[in-house]
Each structure stands twice: as structure tokens, then as C-alpha cells.
Homo-oligomer: A and B are copies of this chain.
Amino acid sequence: MVDGIERPLDVLNNSKGKEVLVQLKNNRQMVGTLLAFDIHINVVLDNAKEIADGENKRNLGLTFLRGDTIIFISPASMAK
């Protein structure tokens, strides 16, 4: 499942069009479909949902996230 991951951004490239979990600083989390990213790790999610304490807090739809507030990005389908 991890073939072809030479550089960190390859994971983001492979996740385009798929649902990802984005952990932000200050305990914010978002899930959504990864549409785009750049080298600053600015990302765009579609159908973004903000989650707090395991509950859906806000439906944000299309959302631009600044890279410097991101801790990690995990393709949701990989979560076990």
C-alpha cells in the first residue's frame, strides 16, 4: 500500500480525491476530500467537517487550510 512513496509529498499526491483526516494545532481536526496542496502544505478540502471531541462541530464545505497550522494529514481509509 505504500509503494512509490519516495518523498513525503507523495502521500498527499496519492491522497488527492480521497478523504483525509487533518489534525490542526489547538486540538482542531478536519475531515474532507483532499483536492489540492502546495509545498507549504496549504491544502484544500472539499466537504470539510470540523470535529471536536469526536463530534461533528461544523460543516464547512470547500475550505482552504493554511499549512502552518497543520500537525498531520492522514488518509482516512488507512485508519484502522
Could you list which residues of chain A lie within 8 angstroms of chain B, going by C-beta atoms? 1-2, 5-12, 21, 24-26, 28, 30, 35-38, 41-44, 46, 48, 58-75, 77-80
Contact = CB atoms under 8 A, between A and B. Distances in A.
A7 B38 contact: yes
Nearest to A38: B8
A21 to B, nearest CB: 7
A8 B78 contact: no
Contacts of A38: 7-9
Contact of A74 (B1, B48, B72): B48
A62 B80 CA distance: 10
B79 A74 contact: no
